[in-house]
């Protein structure tokens, strides 16, 4: 592993693993009370953090529209709780995000969780780089459509980001990379940084939106993209349920949004651990213009 990566993981290991979760006393403090009567929409809900969010919300009384691609996994999830309503969609496609927004009713909590760290370059059916389409463009298309339709007027939005954002500034040149420029880890970091900017933008539109970091969690995605993490840190990784904790807490407590802050272990924390991310090449207007243009491009291709 390169020395830069060793420094990064060594720096954050005590905080981002289950060590930090336990040290902060979170297992002794339930994140939510009753969510009865609430309607939740959780993307990427068939595994990992998304599944944990959906199950915990349902246990607390919410009705959860759980969105995923795999019908078999959705069926298993629906059988696990009466509060789960499965919805099969490929959210790497703008068209399916827009269709989902049109078909669902008003939402009390939207959890934009679906995402991928794609180490190999690939594109979606609509021609966008896969990680960009899945982790960012789809979130934007779905959320903007729901807001425009008045379906999130009283909602909380939670974007599930990651510590990867600490490695990249907001820079539209790093979004939707072509094959020659593609680096999966850089693309992932750039997408996660942009999720934070969108959370701030949506907080301005509806009043209640957050970007949360779940910590380092043992998921299938981590095993596939970062197999060394399982080998070296496996026993220290957080469980999906622990990773879901702050998302549930935010949706339940709805603290005042904090611009350019990442919510982690129920507190707003710095979004800049490295100087190079503070002076961003792009601003929110640049990001919105790019995403709007790509949504329009996807619509034109239908």
Domain-by-domain residue ranges, the chain? 3-300
Q: What is the pLDDT of residue 302?
A: 62
Q: What is the pLDDT of residue 6?
A: 61
Rg, the chain, Cα only = 18
Query: Quick one: average pLDDT of 176-199?
Result: 97
Does residue 180 register a pLDDT over 80? yes
Residue 203 has which token pair? 């907080």
* Residue 202 and residue 147 in contact, taking contact as beta carbons nearer than 8 Å: yes
Query: Quick one: average pLDDT of 185-196?
Result: 97
Q: What is the pLDDT of residue 5?
A: 62
Does residue 3 register a pLDDT over 90? no
| Between residues 234 and 181, the one the model is more confident about | 181
Q: What is the pLDDT of residue 2?
A: 56
Q: What is the pLDDT of residue 60?
A: 96
> What tens digit of pLDDT does each residue of 47-81 get?
999 999 999 999 999 999 999 999 999 999 999 99
Give pTM, 2 decimals.
Answer: 0.95
| Between residues 262 and 232, the one the model is more confident about | 262
Query: Quick one: average pLDDT of 195-210?
Result: 98
Q: What is the pLDDT of residue 221?
A: 81
Q: What is the pLDDT of residue 225?
A: 76
Query: Quick one: average pLDDT of 167-189?
Result: 97
Residue found under tokens 């907080």? 203
Instruction: Please state which CATH class domain 3-300 belongs to.
Output: alpha beta
* Residue 192 and residue 209 in contact, taking contact as beta carbons nearer than 8 Å: no
Does residue 166 register a pLDDT over 90? yes
Continuous segment of H or E residues that includes residue 164: none
**Calpha distance 163→291 (Å, rounded):** 23
Label the pairing between strands 261-264 and 267-270.
Answer: antiparallel
Q: What is the pLDDT of residue 161?
A: 97
Confidence of residue 12 (pLDDT cuts 50, 70, 90): confident
- For the chain, give the percent of residues with pLDDT over 70: 97
Q: Which of 292, 290, 118 is nearest to 188 (CA)?
A: 118
Residue ranges in 235-283 assigned as alpha helix (H): 240-253
**If you average pLDDT over every residue of the chain, what do you get?**
95
Q: What is the pLDDT of residue 264?
A: 98
Q: What is the pLDDT of residue 300?
A: 92
Does residue 10 register a pLDDT over 80? no
* Residue 165 and residue 276 in contact, taking contact as beta carbons nearer than 8 Å: no
């Amino acid at each position: 592993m390169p020395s830069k990566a060793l420094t990064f993981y060594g720096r954050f290991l005590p905080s981002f693993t289950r060590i930090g979760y336990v040290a902060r006393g979170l297992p002794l403090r339930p994140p939510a009370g009753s969510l009865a009567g609430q309607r939740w929409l959780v993307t990427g809900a068939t595994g990992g953090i998304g599944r944990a969010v959906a199950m915990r919300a349902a246990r607390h009384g919410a009705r959860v529209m759980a969105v995923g691609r795999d019908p078999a996994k959705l069926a298993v999830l629906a059988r696990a709780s009466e509060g789960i309503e499965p919805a099969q969609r490929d959210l790497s496609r703008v068209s399916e995000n827009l269709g989902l927004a049109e078909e669902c009713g008003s939402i009390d909590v939207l959890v934009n969780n679906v995402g991928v760290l794609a180490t190999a370059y690939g594109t979606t059916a609509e021609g966008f780089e896969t990680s960009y389409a899945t982790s960012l463009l789809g979130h934007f298309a779905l959320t903007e459509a729901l807001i425009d339709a008045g379906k999130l007027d009283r909602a909380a939005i939670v974007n599930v980001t990651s510590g990867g954002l600490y490695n990249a500034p907001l820079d539209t040149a790093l979004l939707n990379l072509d094959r020659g420029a593609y680096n999966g880890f850089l693309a992932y970091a750039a997408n996660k940084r942009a999720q934070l900017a969108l959370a701030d933008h949506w907080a301005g539109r509806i009043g209640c939106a957050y970007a949360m970091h779940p910590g380092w969690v043992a998921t299938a995605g981590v095993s596939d993209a970062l197999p060394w993490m399982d080998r070296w840190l496996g026993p220290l990784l957080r469980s999906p349920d622990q990773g879901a904790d702050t998302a549930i807490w935010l949706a339940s407590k709805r603290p005042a949004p904090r611009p350019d802050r990442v919510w982690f272990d129920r507190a707003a924390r710095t979004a800049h651990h490295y100087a190079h991310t503070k002076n961003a090449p792009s601003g929110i207007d640049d990001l919105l213009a790019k995403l709007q243009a790509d949504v329009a491009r996807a619509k034109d291709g239908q």
